[in-house]
Chain A
Amino acid sequence: MIEKALTGDKRYWSWIAFLLVLIGVGTLAYLRQFDFGLGVTGLSRDVTWGFYIAQFTFLVGVAASAVMVVLPYYLHNYKAFSKVTILGEFVAIGAVIMCMTFIFVDMGQPFRILNVFLHPSPNSLMFWDTVSLMGYLLLNIVISQVTLNAERKAIAPPKWIKPVIIISIPWAISIHTVTAFLYSGLAARPFWMSAVLAPRFLASAFAAGPALLVILCLLVRKFSRFDPGDAAIKNLAKIATYGMVVNVFLVLMEIFTAFYSNIPEHLYHFKYLYFGLDGKATLVPWMWISSILAVISLIVMINPKTRNKVNWLVFGCIAIFVSLWIDKGLAMVVTGFIPSPLGEVTEYWPTFLEFLISIGIYALGALIITVLYKVAISVREKDLPVPAPVREETEAVASESV
């Protein structure tokens, strides 16, 4: 079916070429990092995980959000999602591959990564994270391949795929829970040591993922003859809204606990985020933008009058996505280190090289999703009637009347 991605119009190929250029630049930047060491990034002895791992954390959420389309359709027969599950699964594949690539570029000795499997350490959450990510990737590849193939042949998919799909539902929840566990079990980092971190991760995933899917569905509707359906898009919007409500609520819970208890160890991290600490306040404007965007997105998305209008919907979904990207992809990881266990405030900002490498990886994900979507849309499009050319008709009518 991959041959369907090899035919396309000029627009398609220019987009692919653009992505390939970004990937190329990112690769060259990575070669520089591989040669010198991770010292080319903005990371330091105090802030050891930064932009790469933050992107991984954010994208695991996006990957997990596929469950929000799979669950209603396969467990509850919600027919409106029948055309959208594959789109969710393809986003999951692209997101998981991006996650793995972000981890790879963050390793000090990436070519030793097999050691994680040669010397399995069940006590380490990182081991379980690699296992669950690989399993999730495999599940999504198999499920999407089998179901799309069956659709192309206009037959029902084989019976054995149903239990596989059912397994993917708790597995999706598990990948993001395990990622949250990476952080929430560390006694050394009070900012992350919170039971609410895993639920918060999941809530933000179920807001950001469906928000992204809404945008992608609207793009698919615009650039191809396939229409995922109004009902699907409207429901995805509702899911994103509820996810965002829960996420904002949980964030407020964390803020209450930190500020009301006044325990310095917990409080200082939030102070740094929203007000700055020791005169250092790089993330402060970003956090306020994220919070304001979150509130605005809730206003737009909760109100059905705005949520059901395309322009407002697009704005609301982008607001959700950007707000959560700032929260998880910029703030959350770095703030765990500020202040350090020794009370020092060392700030972090990604360097230009880090940025180039990250853009390259995002381009890789976009390429994978583009190619997979092209395949799915081509399969769907061939059953759709080609609209009759309008010009000839008008000419014929005009000539007739004359």
Chain B
Amino acid sequence: MSVNRRSFLKAAGLTTLSLAGGKALASESLKKPWIDSGGLKAKRWAMVIDLSKCREQEGCTACTDACHRVHNVPEFENEKHEVKWIWKEPFHNAFHEQEHEYTRDNIKHSKALVLCNHCDNPPCVRVCPTKATWKREEDGIVMMDWHRCIGCRYCVLACPYGSRSFNWRDPRDGIDEVQEDFPTRMKGVVEKCTFCEERLAKGLMPACVEACKEHALIFGDLDDPESEVRAILKERYTIRRKPALGTEPEVYYIV
């Protein structure tokens, strides 16, 4: 596209005008300094949830609040349209086959923190017809591409843990304060926890891990023998949800 005199003069005039008038409007050049630190990297991200520590704070919703705020997760009155990425589920729902009539009371009546398990063998990835959800080979995170999702909800069927939510209506109707640096989603797509991959890219820990005051959520590289997650797994007995299904979930629980 060649620039003729007329359009050059127009552009010059505009720039001068905007410099004069726009100075009042333009505050800083870029919203946030871009951290090109390369981010946190791992071969296999995993999480250990210490339910005994989590139980210390009954009624605590710090992780849920942090995650849902940072990611613009909507809240609706109608339970049928609920969207949640991380939440507390009654113990007998989350660990049905690990429980019996005489389980210790403090565990039996407790709540377990549940989220997407970022399985090594994810059934949701297997059934997606558009690869809108896939497992990242570099670090094992099961990702979501909200541009590509056609909203068929097959992945919701395939997930044995109930981790996925569908947007039955425009999510913006259910968000009070929108966080501007993370997009909302639109109606008609499925969403779930992404292990805060956008925060990991900026060198930050997942929002839930940071928000937990009890340090009940430990996040790290399963492939690194020196990591905190590996240390805990070596030291304590841990269980996973529905292990018999062969999904190989990467969220471990200390009961």
Contacts and interface: CB of A to CB of B under 8 A. Distances in A.
Contact between chain A and chain B defined by CB under 8 Å: yes
Given A45-B82, A188-B158, A124 B168 contact: no
B82 to A, nearest CB: 5
B135 to A, nearest CB: 12
A380 B92 CA distance: 66
Chain B CB within 10 A, most for which of A38, A44, A49, A109: A109
Nearest to B246: A187
Interface stretch (B125-133, B197-205, B210-218, B221-229): B125-133
Contact of B160 (A106, A121, A182, A188): A188
Interface string B119-148: 000010011111110000000000000001
> For chain B, what secondary structure do more than half of its interface residues adopt (helix, strand, loop), or is it mixed?
loop
Nearest to B187: A37
A344 interface: yes
Given A37-B188, A110-B150, A342 B93 contact: yes
Nearest to A36: B169
B46 interface: no
Contact of B168 (A38, A115, A187): A38
Interface string B146-161: 0011111110111111
A126 B152 contact: yes
Contact of A187 (B123, B149, B188): B123
A275 interface: no
B245 A187 contact: yes
A112 B188 CA distance: 11
A200 interface: no
A38 B159 CA distance: 20
A119 B131 contact: yes
A343 B190 CA distance: 21
A161 B58 CA distance: 71
Given A45-B80, A125-B127, A37 B167 contact: yes
Given A108-B187, A187-B123, A341-B162, A49 B157 contact: yes
A38 B130 contact: no
Given A48-B166, A126-B129, A189 B81 contact: no
Contacts, number: 137
B153 A49 contact: yes
Contacts of A116: 129-130, 150
A108 B129 contact: no
A43 B167 CA distance: 11
Contacts of A119: 130-131, 148
Nearest to B163: A341
Contacts of A124: 126-129, 154
Contacts of A336: 157
A118 to B, nearest CB: 8
Contacts of A6: none
A44 B96 contact: no
B12 to A, nearest CB: 42
A54 to B, nearest CB: 13
B242 to A, nearest CB: 8
A126 B126 CA distance: 10
6 contacts: A36-B187, A38-B151, A43-B80, A45-B83, A45-B165, A343-B93
Given A37-B169, A38-B151, 6 more contacts: A108-B149, A115-B148, A116-B150, A119-B148, A125-B127, A341-B159
Interface of A: 36-39, 42-46, 48-49, 106-110, 112-113, 115-116, 118-119, 121, 123-127, 130, 182, 186-189, 336, 340-344, 346
